[in-house]
Chains A and B, each alone.
Chain A
C-alpha cells in the first residue's frame, strides 16, 4: 500500500464535514460570506515551478476520503448520502408548492429548498430520518417523478507517484495529424469543465478557517487557521482571462470557481492547454473557451467551511448551468462508486444533451476495490450524446484502476503509473507542494497558495475523459454539431481494443481523433 494510501484511506475527509455540521446539528447552511470573501482582484503574477516529480501523489484506485472536522465524527464519505435532506422531483402537472408542503408535513420536514438551475426540490427532513427510506417513499408517490438521497460525489482522480517526461498520450492519439485537420477548434466552442474549479483568474481570498480537523482518524489535529488570505492566479498555460466564459461556483454559490484542489485545472489543461506557444505541454482543443463550473469541493474548500459539497444535486446543477450557458461539451471527471442511482444527475445529463451538449463521463477508478463503476456513468449507454470513458496506460492496455463495466463506451489515455513510472498524463496545475500544506506535519501546516503552478503527471479515468471532451470540441468545430452524431462518429472510428467488438474494458475502442475528424469520403 502506498504512502498516499495510508494517508488517505483511513482519512476521513474534511469536505463532507462542514455540510454535516450544518445538517446534523440542524443549523441553516453556512453563509459563504462568513467564511470566504474576495478581498482584491489584484495579485502577483502566477509562479510556474516547472515539472515537479518530488511531490507525492495519491493513487486513483484508492478509496476517497475527506478530512473530518474535529469534534464531528460523522463520516459522510463519497458515495454515502447526506443526512437531513433528500432530492425530490415532482411531476410537471403537479402543483410543486402544494405537493412539497404536503410531503414536508408527511416527512416531518422543516423546509423546502429550491435553487437556480434545478427543476427539483431539496426537502429538509429530520436528521434522524433514514434518507434512503424517505427517498424511496417519496419516489413511490404518484406525484413524484423521482426522489433520491443526496449522495456525495468526488473527482475521479486521486494524484499518484510523480515521474515522467513525455506527453505520450497525444502521440498515442496521433494528435499531430489530427491538428493538421482541425487545429484546436476556436473560441466559438465552449467546453464546460464541471469539476473542482479551474485556476481561471487572479486575486486574493480572505478565508475564515474556523474548525480544527484531522486528516487521518486518530491522527494529529490540525489547527483552525483563523482569517487567512489566499492568493490565487490564472494558470499560465490556460491563457488569460478571455480564455474563460461564464465561471460558476456551486460549492461556494458564487461566480468565482477558483480551484483549491488542482484536479479541475489539470483536467482543463488536457481539454485546452495552450499549445504551440513554446511553453509547457499541449491540450486537445487548445483554442476553445473554457467554462469553469465548480461542483466538487477540494480539501481546502472543506477546511474553510464551504457551504456545499459535491452532492448529486450540486453536480446536476452544474451540468444544467453549463447547458443553459451554451456549453457544447461538458466534461465530468467526477462521480461516485457507491450509493444508489442518481436520477437527478441522469436527468441533468439528458437535459444537457437535449440542449445540444455532448457529455463525457469518467468510468471510475475502483477496479481493484470490487470493480465498482461510476454511478453517474450509468445514464450514458442509453443516451446518444453522452459517453462513459475508461482509461488506458502508456502501453495502451487497460489501466489497473479503470473499471470494467457495461457502461464503458470508449477508452482514452488516462495513464498507468503502476505499469510505467513515466506513464501518467502530464498537465500544468496548482503546485501541490505549496497547496497541500495539510500533507505536512502539523508544525509546518499553514495557509495554502493557489498562485503557484507546476507540471504533474496524474492518472485516472478523470484524465482519460477530457481527451474525449477535447475531441468532441474538435468535432463540433469540424461540423458535427449534434451530441448524438459526435458519439456515433467517435464510436465508428474508434480503434477496437481487446476482444473484437465492444467489451466492458475498452467499450468500442480507443478514440481515433484523426480518422474521426477526417470523416468519410465517397468510397473510403
Chain B
C-alpha cells in the first residue's frame, strides 16, 4: 500500500471523529470508517490468468452521514485492490504465463445512499443501500511502450447490505456485502477480450471499523 493511500485512509476517520459533536446535535450523524475485505471479480478467468486469482484483498475507508430523515444515510468511500502478476497468452484450453511482470490496481470510489433499520435495536443496525461507482483501473507491465500501460476510470453502480454493531457510543464494527457492476471496462483487448469478460465489478465482503455516531 502506498503512503498516499495510507494517508487517505487515515484522514477520513480522523475527520469523522472531530465532526460528530457538532453535527449530531442537529440530528446529523457523521462517522468515518476504515475497511478491509475481500473482493471477487466477475471477470474471474481474466483475473485468474494474469494475477493468479479472481479475488484479493481490498482496503479502504470512507465517511457516512446519517440524515435526520429516519434511517436515511449517504456515504462516500474509497478502496483499493492491488495485485502483481504476469502477462500471458491464452488458448482455449491453456494459459501460458510469459514471465513479464504486471501490476494491476483497481481503485473504486463508491457514492452510496441507503437506509438504516434502527427500529430493531440500537446496538445492532442492519442497513441496505446502493449507488454510483467509479473505478480507476491501472495496469502497468514491463517492456511497455508509451500508451501501452493503462490508467482509465470507468463508471458503474453497486448495491450493498450490512450490519453495524455499536461497540461503544463512538465505536462501531460492521460487516458488509457489496455487489458492483462496471460494464464495458474490460473486454476490448487483452486476455479479457479472449475470455469475453467485460465487467470490472464483482462482489466484496468487508469488515468496517467506524468511529463516530
Contacts and interface: CB of A to CB of B under 8 A. Distances in A.
Interface of A: 177, 180-181, 478-482, 484-485, 488-489, 492, 517-524
Given A181-B100, A478-B99, A479-B96, A521 B50 contact: yes
Interface string B176-205: 000000000110111110100000000000
A520 B90 contact: yes
Contacts of B44: none
B73 interface: no
B190 A521 contact: yes
Nearest to B189: A524
B99 A479 contact: yes
Interface residues of B, number: 33
Interface string B82-104: 00010111110010111110101
B187 to A, nearest CB: 8
Contact of B102 (A482, A484, A522): A522
13 contacts: A180-B143, A479-B97, A479-B98, A485-B96, A518-B98, A520-B189, A521-B87, A521-B190, A522-B192, A523-B137, A523-B139, A523-B186, A524-B148
B81 interface: no
B150 interface: yes
A488 B143 contact: no
Given A181-B143, A479-B98, A485-B96, A519 B137 contact: no
Contacts of B102: 521-522
Of the listed residues B85, B98, B194, the one surrounded by the most CB atoms of chain A closer than 10 A to its CB is: B98
Interface string B126-159: 0000000000010101010100101000000000
Interface string B18-38: 000000000000000000000
Contacts of A520: 50, 87-90, 189-191, 194
Contact of A523 (B90, B91, B96, B189): B189
Given A181-B143, A522-B85, A523-B139, 10 more contacts: A518-B87, A518-B143, A520-B90, A520-B194, A521-B50, A521-B139, A521-B191, A523-B185, A523-B190, A524-B189
A523 B87 CA distance: 10
B89 A485 contact: yes
A520 B89 CA distance: 6
Contacts, number: 82
B87 A481 contact: no
A521 B141 contact: yes
A385 to B, nearest CB: 11
Nearest to A485: B91
Contact of B100 (A482, A492, A518, A523): A518
B94 to A, nearest CB: 7
Contacts of B50: 520-522
A107 to B, nearest CB: 45
Contacts of A519: 87-89, 96, 98, 100
Nearest to A521: B190
Contacts of B91: 482, 484-485, 488
Nearest to B106: A522
A299 B64 CA distance: 87
A268 to B, nearest CB: 27
A519 B190 CA distance: 8
A217 to B, nearest CB: 53
A383 to B, nearest CB: 15
Contacts of B210: none
Given A518-B98, A518-B143, A522-B50, A480 B186 contact: no
A517 B143 CA distance: 10
Contacts of A522: 46-47, 50-51, 85, 102, 104, 139, 186, 190-192
Of the listed residues A480, A481, A488, the one surrounded by the most CB atoms of chain B closer than 10 A to its CB is: A480
A484 B190 CA distance: 20
A239 B89 CA distance: 32
Closest 8 pairs between A and B when the two form their complex, measured CB to CB: A520-B191, A519-B98, A519-B89, A523-B190, A522-B50, A519-B87, A480-B96, A524-B190
Contacts of A488: 89, 91
A522 to B, nearest CB: 4
Given A485-B89, A517-B98, A523 B141 contact: no
Nearest to B185: A523
A79 to B, nearest CB: 36
A252 to B, nearest CB: 40
B190 to A, nearest CB: 4
B167 to A, nearest CB: 39
A519 B99 CA distance: 10
Of the listed residues B91, B97, B185, the one surrounded by the most CB atoms of chain A closer than 10 A to its CB is: B91
A188 to B, nearest CB: 14
Contacts of A481: 96
Of the listed residues B88, B96, B145, B186, the one surrounded by the most CB atoms of chain A closer than 10 A to its CB is: B96
Contacts of A517: 98
Given A521-B50, A523-B137, A480 B188 contact: no
A480 B51 contact: no
Of the listed residues A479, A480, A482, A523, the one surrounded by the most CB atoms of chain B closer than 10 A to its CB is: A523
Contacts of B150: 521, 523-524
Nearest to B92: A488
A488 B90 CA distance: 9
Contacts of A479: 89, 96-99
A484 B93 CA distance: 11
A181 B142 CA distance: 9
Nearest to A480: B96
A54 B133 CA distance: 71
Contacts of B97: 479
Contacts of A518: 87, 98, 100, 141, 143
